[in-house]
Amino acid sequence: MPVKPFIPVMLAVLLAALLPPAVVAADVLVFCLDTSGSMQKQGRFEAAKSLLAQQIRETQPGDVIYVIAFDSNDYPIGRLDVGEDGSPEAKEQLLAKIQVLKAKGRYTNLDEPLQAAKAFLLEERAPGARKILILSDGLSDPSPDHSKLDLKGIAEMIPQTLAWAVYLVGLPDDIAGLFQTQPLDIELVLAPEAPHIKGIAIKDFSRDLIKVVPNRVKNDALPFVPPPPLPPLQSVPEPAPAPPPEVPEPPALPRQPEVSPPLMQAIEVPPSPFSTLLWVLGALLLAVVGGCLLVPRRVAGKPRAAFVLEVQEETGDAKRVPLVLGEGEKKTLGPRGDIPLEGHPELPAVVGALRWSLGRLWLTPQDTMTVNGRSVTSRTPVGPGDQLKVRDSVRIMIDEGEETTDAP
């Protein structure tokens, strides 16, 4: 019986209706929001927060968004991975964290959010292009212990070989000074030697202009990164030459008569004074080298401080984690931090940071934390014997470790 023409079409439509909708790989966006005090001028901070809120509400299945606040330090706010159900509860939780943000920081250390964004994206497993979006009216206004970043410094921190893109959204004067060109509103400005770094000028962070930025970023294609060159072809080795024909050994010579011991002593050549001097110098050299290797020596280098964190979580037994920091070095605490935590399932990716600076260990909380029972909300000095607590689910005791030095 011949098959009617419309039957294959009906089967295809039915099959498409029964299959679950596929999640399309979208961009992985990292929004970095400047929370320095200058963002309070002319409603810039509220305009930027309104933009973030709109982007979170409009996310679709497959979208992944990170939000990082920064001024003198970086403050990871959260990660949103939108599933097929739309993830409404996750969206509301992230929106609530953004709404309480205030612009009151003193400096704008641009390296802090770039380092945090790089750490997150290196661990991210979702498909899609990686794009970092900086929202700042000052771009780089560093504190005395940080250096001002230019395009070269940004390219060294986020190299083009990663195949990511960095978008710097700022005031026209800042974009013009950084890219050495006169930009137009909302137009993309490319770095001449690093086309993956792009600038977008916004006049006074106007709400009407800034709302166009996300679409420009999403529709912008990543610059082409040429693949690494292939290794040179190895030449085929030539065949080994044939072994030479065997030559018969000559007949053995008649054995010479042995020389008696008195004759051997008579013909022995005495050692020269020069060879004796060489032996003495060689022995002295070996003694000096051996002494340098055996005698412990102190290597001059950058001073470091060592601690031991005794971490007690509800999810398991206590564990001791070594912590070694150099001047200005920072380690983060949290499920995605340098010092991993499990704790409560609602813990954010990073709950706090420990930094060794000016001979002190400093704690910068990014979640509900107490030190020796006292709630802390800003940078606080801590040390051996102090007890830290995170949401009553993670307890950390700081013990003193052995100080070391780094080789220069």
Do 189 and 88 have their domain in common? yes
User: CA-based angle 132:136:142, to the nearest 5?
Assistant: 100
Nearest to 108 by CA among 200, 203, 39, 197: 39
Query: Is the CB of residue 202 less than 8 Å from the CB of residue 134?
Result: no
Q: By the 8 A CB rule, do 104 and 69 touch?
A: no
Determine the Cα–Cα distance for residues 221 and 137; give it in Å rounded to an integer: 25
Across the beta sheet with 330-334, the strand order is 339-340, 330-334, 352-357, 360-365, 380-382
Lowest mean per-residue pLDDT among 101-110, 142-151, 316-325: 316-325
pLDDT at 32: 97
Q: How many domains does the chain have?
A: 2
116 domain residue, yes or no: yes
Asked which of 171, 196, 219 is the last residue of a domain, the reply is 219
Q: Identify whether residues 183 and 322 lie together within a single domain.
A: no
- In this structure, are 71 and 209 located in the same domain? yes
Task: Give the CATH number of the domain where residue 195 resides.
Answer: 3.40.50.410
Which one is predicted more confidently, 373 or 244? 373
| Chain centroid to CA 159 | 12
Between these two residues, 377 and 160, which has the higher pLDDT value? 160
Average pLDDT over residues 302-323: 84
Phi, psi of 335 (to 5 degrees): -55, -30
One domain for residues 198 and 311: no
In this structure, the answer to whether residues 206 and 94 fall within a common structural domain is yes
254 in a structural domain: no
Cβ atoms within 10 Å of 309's Cβ, excluding its own: 19
Parent domain of 73: 28-219
Alpha-helical (H) ranges within 250-355 are: 261-267, 273-294
Of 140, 146, 67, the closest CA to residue 108 belongs to 140
Kindly list the distances between the CA atom of residue 87 and the CA atoms of 79, 253, 346, in Å, as whole numbers in the listed order: 12, 98, 15
The answer, yes or no, to whether residue 31 has pLDDT greater than 60, is yes
Q: How confident is the model at residue 255 (pLDDT cuts 50, 70, 90)?
A: low
pLDDT of amino acid 405 = 46
Tens of pLDDT, residue by residue over 190-234, are 888 899 999 999 887 778 888 889 988 988 887 666 656 666 656
Look at residue 273 in the predicted model and tell me its pLDDT. Answer: 64
Q: How many C-beta neighbours within 10 Å does residue 306 have?
A: 15
Query: What tens digit of pLDDT does each residue of 69-78 get?
Result: 999 999 999 9
Is 98 a member of any domain? yes
The torsion of the CA quartet 352, 353, 354, 360, rounded to 10 degrees, works out to -100
Residue 16: pLDDT above 80?
no
Which residues face 370 on adjacent strands? Answer: 375, 389
CATH number at 335 reads 2.60.200.20
pLDDT higher than threshold 50 for residue 275: yes
Average the pLDDT over each of 12-21, 236-245, 352-361 and give the range with the smallest value: 12-21
Q: Has residue 289 been placed in a domain? A: no
Judgement on whether residues 202 and 345 belong to the same structural domain of the protein: no
* Helix intervals (H) in 158-242: 172-179, 207-210, 213-219
Give the chain's mean pLDDT: 81
Amino acid, single-letter form, for residue 389: K
Higher pLDDT, 244 or 218: 218
Do 211 and 314 lie in one domain? The reply is no
Smallest CA-to-CA distance from 28 within 162, 126, 103 is with 126
Domain end point (choices 219, 240, 255): 219
CA dist., res. 38 & res. 40, Å (int) = 5
Q: How many Å apart are CA 194 and CA 176, to the nearest integer?
A: 16
* Same domain assignment for residues 206 and 328: no
pTM as predicted: 0.54
Both 182 and 330 in one domain: the answer is no
Q: Which residue has the higher pLDDT, 55 or 5?
A: 55
Confidence of residue 139 (pLDDT cuts 50, 70, 90): confident
User: Does one domain contain both 306 and 206?
Assistant: no
For residue 173, is it within any domain? Answer: yes
Q: Is the pLDDT of residue 10 over 50?
A: yes
Give the pLDDT mean for 267-280. 61
In the prediction, which pLDDT does 296 show? 44
Rounded CA separation 183/386 (Å): 52
Q: Which two tokens stand for residue 171?
A: 């005031």
Give strand ranges (E) for 123-246: 130-135, 165-170, 188-190, 197-201
- Percent of the chain predicted with pLDDT > 90: 40
Q: Which of residues 166, 199, 219 is at a domain's end?
A: 219
